[in-house]
Amino acid sequence: MQSCKANCGGAAKLSRDDAKKIADVLCAQVKEYNDFNLTMPARLTEIREALTRELRLLAEVTRSF
C-alpha cells in the first residue's frame, strides 16, 4: 500500500477532532453491520416458521379435494 506522500504529494494533516469523527463514523458502521448480521438469523427463523405454517394449512386444504 502506498503512503499518502506517494499518493497525494504530501503528508496527510488530520486534526484529532477530525480523526475522532472519522473513527466514530467507522465504529457506528461496524456496529450497524454487526447488529444487522445478528438479527438476520432471527428474521429468517421467523420467516421459515411462517412459511411452514402456511404450507401445512395449504396441505390440509388441498387434501380435501
Model pLDDT, residue 37 = 72
| CB 5 within 8 Å of CB 11 | yes
User: Is residue 5 a part of any domain in this protein?
Assistant: no
* Total structural domains within the chain: 1
Residue 49 DSSP class: H
Neighbours of 6 (CB within 10 A): 8
Range of the domain at 53: 15-63
| CB 16 within 8 Å of CB 10 | no
User: Is residue 1 a part of any domain in this protein?
Assistant: no
Q: What is the pTM of this model?
A: 0.43
Give the range with max mean pLDDT: 4-8, 10-14, 57-61: 57-61
With 60 as the cut, is the pLDDT of residue 4 above it? no
User: Is residue 7 a part of any domain in this protein?
Assistant: no
User: Is residue 29 a part of any domain in this protein?
Assistant: yes
pLDDT tens-digit map of 13-29 = 778 888 889 999 998 88
With 80 as the cut, is the pLDDT of residue 2 above it? no
User: Is residue 27 a part of any domain in this protein?
Assistant: yes
